[in-house]
Amino acid sequence: MTALEIAGRIVRQFEGCCLAPYEDVAGRWTVGVGHLIPPDQAIQDVTQEEADSLFFYDLSLADDCVTQAVTVTLTDNQRAALISFVFNLGCASLKKSTLLRKLNAGDTVGACQEFKKWDNAGGKPVGGLLRRRTAEAALFAKP
């Protein structure tokens, strides 16, 4: 299984799929598998085919971000964990993170410990995000 396939499984596990738009825990409108609806776009239902297409597009953007930001060699599991992280939090969050700084400095243990610090939405801890970060960290640490 490739890193992208592994990432897709963990993202789907935590995001689920909803064909009707909904507000996520941070108050952002979302549809499909965690696809953010731009503020200037009409909010409408999507088909399963559209949801899958948006999912693969968003997943590839997250993968591209990891490729651009990470300067060290990654295992498939490390890459998958980072793709899931970026899918959920965005590329800017990875690029400004201590997680990335530690990883690129060769401190994989320190980088792994940083995942759990990203469990807030709207400035408050969210149990579901902590579970996701814990799963991502476990995947990152897995050989």
Average pLDDT in the 18-27 region? 92
Work out how many domains the chain is built from and give that number.
1
Instruction: State pLDDT tens for residues 31-80.
Output: 999 999 998 888 899 999 999 999 999 999 999 999 999 999 999 999 99
Instruction: Please tell me which residue in 5, 23, 24, 64 is annotated as part of the active site.
Output: 24
Q: Is the pLDDT of residue 26 over 90?
A: no
CATH number assigned to the domain comprising residue 67 = 1.10.530.40
119 is catalytic: no
Instruction: Please tell me which residue in 15, 63, 114, 136 is annotated as part of the active site.
Output: 15
pTM: 0.95
Domain range for residue 16? 3-141
Neighbours of 141 (CB within 10 A): 17
The answer for residues whose C-beta is within 8 angstroms of residue 21's C-beta and 6 or more apart is: 29, 30, 31, 37, 43, 44, 45
Instruction: State pLDDT tens for residues 91-115.
Output: 999 999 999 999 999 999 999 999 9
50 is catalytic: no
